[in-house]
Structure 1
Amino acid sequence: MMRGALVVLSLIGSQAAAADSFALPQGCTAFLTIQSHSCSVEHHFTCAADPEGVKRRVSLSEDGLTYLGSTDEDAQWLSSFYPFTNHRERLEDNPKDPASLGALLKTGSDSYDFQTLSDEIGTTRYVGEDRLTGQIVTIDDVALQQTEYNITAFGADGSTLWSSKGNEFVNAKDRMFIGGTGTVTVPEGPFDKDDRPVQFIYPGEPGFLSANPKFDCGAILSSAPSVTPKEISDDNL
């Protein structure tokens, strides 16, 4: 499965450059484009070669591809590739406390404690929790459940790499987490992020699969380090 995933990621990287419309690899079908704050556009899609329930996402900024990743049927993060730092991460086998969108929707809260493995940067441990606030937020005619989250990333030696807390969203219909607002704290200090969605664009609508982000572009944003997004919940750190 991992070899196939890397092939897909490679194909995406080669096809996305210098295009007004983002081109998916053969055998893949997009179902949603999201234009967000902080000059980001992302495309959600599935691929026929993947196991049932696996979804993929690609994110682009003014500078090009920023993220490629996949999640399973429970919105649990599986794999990620970060073009700017050129490193990949994959979920360990048998996590201590797997993240679960199903548990969050059923009980209103979900804790997690898992590790990612990377040939380039080693092992990273993620510990945190998501909670539903009970608020429904409608953005571009899409009803989203608001979450409150906290997450801390630890290095292989147990040192704290970064932490983040804030509010994000759940799209229960598509079984996916969507970015929101929060504060990320790194050794150099804290910075705020705003990855709230602005537009939800579906197949056949203008702007679907656009390679060009629309909102907050050209702005001078806080300099963020190369922290790893927790795809299952903290979508866009």
Structure 2
Amino acid sequence: MRKLLILACLLAPAAPALAGAWTAPEGCEVFMTVQSKACRVSQYYRCLADPHGDQWRADFDQEGPYFLSHVDIEGQWIESFDLNPPNRQSLDPNPTDPASFSDLLASGKDSFAFGLTNEDGTSSGVSGFDRLTGKTIVIDGISLSQTEFEYAEIDPMGNVLRRSRGNEYIHPEWRLFFAGPSEWDPGDGNFLPMDGSPVEFIFPGEPGFLKTQPIYDCDAIMSRAPAPQKEHSHDNL
């Protein structure tokens, strides 16, 4: 029931007095809005009913909300919701090698291997790694640590469903991953360049906070009309 309420809130139109602004589900609070490349804006929020350290992200493109993701304090992906077509994908219990933000910070590299199940019962396995490159990147006045990553999602028959590789960014104190320049293979063996890097970090009280219209690269996106970019396993798959 709680998940249905969250999705209902995500899909609900903004109030007329706050046109273009978004309201988090009841019991939750947005702490940051991020405008990114590839015509995406994201609302980051936390909910009182969740375990300590859990965080959510709601993604919007020019047509409205399209993706919702939920991670824990280790950056471990817990569940996600595609809105078109609707689908919930959840982390299987007892992952072989859980993702660990703490291990990445402590040793500079973290591997992961875990299973996923869709609401229709189909399943897949994900494996890969994150590695700190040692580089610090400053975006909109925020210092981020650059990572190198690679992962693959494979179905029970051994078919590759998708792969990705490239760079991302992390904020150690926020315990969040952000997209970066990468390559994406949708399962046909051909890697395509993508870049969903953050451009603006917007906090409560600042202009643009809670806004749902993306503003970067949107003309270019509309001219070629690709599917919305999804970040890799720590945020959503």
Fold shared, TM-score > 0.5 on shorter chain: yes
For 1:216, the equivalent position in structure 2 comes to 217
For 1:103, the equivalent position in structure 2 comes to 103
In the aligned structure 2, how far is the partner of 1:175 from the partner of 1:205? 22
For 2:11, the equivalent position in structure 1 comes to 13
Q: What are the residue-to-residue correspondences of 1:46-57 with 2, within 5 Å?
A: 46-57=46-57
Q: What are the residue-to-residue correspondences of 1:1-237 with 2, within 5 Å?
A: 3-15=1-13, 19-120=19-120, 122-185=122-185, 186-187=187-188, 189-219=190-220, 220-221=223-224, 223-224=226-227, 229-232=231-234, 235=235
Runs of 5+ consecutive residues of structure 1 not aligned to the other structure: none
In the aligned structure 2, how far is the partner of 1:178 from the partner of 1:102? 16
In the aligned structure 2, how far is the partner of 1:132 from the partner of 1:51? 27
Conserved in 1, the CA contact under 8 Å of 2:169 and 2:178? yes
In the aligned structure 2, how far is the partner of 1:231 from the partner of 1:157? 21
* Deviates most, 181-190 or 45-54: 181-190
Instruction: Report the CA distance between 1:231 and its aligned residue.
Output: 4.1
Q: Deviations over 1:81-104 (max 9, x none)?
A: 011121110101110001111110
Instruction: Report the CA distance between 1:33 and its aligned residue.
Output: 0.6
TM-score, normalised relative to structure 1: 0.91
Q: Deviations over 1:170-199 (max 9, x none)?
A: 011211001111111231622111100000
Conserved in 1, the CA contact under 8 Å of 2:43 and 2:210? yes
Q: Deviations over 1:193-230 (max 9, x none)?
A: 11000000011100001011010112134634x88643
The percentage of aligned residue pairs carrying the same residue is 35
Runs of 5+ consecutive residues of structure 2 not aligned to the other structure: none
In the aligned structure 2, how far is the partner of 1:14 from the partner of 1:133? 41
| SS of residue paired to 1:218 | helix
Using a 3 Å threshold, how does the CA distance of structure 1 residues 15 and 209 change in structure 2: closer, same or farther? same
| SS of residue paired to 2:219 | coil
Using a 3 Å threshold, how does the CA distance of structure 1 residues 105 and 157 change in structure 2: closer, same or farther? same
Instruction: Report the CA distance between 1:15 and its aligned residue.
Output: 4.3
Using a 3 Å threshold, how does the CA distance of structure 1 residues 32 and 231 change in structure 2: closer, same or farther? farther
Q: Deviations over 1:99-148 (max 9, x none)?
A: 11111011000000101111236112111000000000000000000000
CA RMSD of aligned residues (A): 2.1
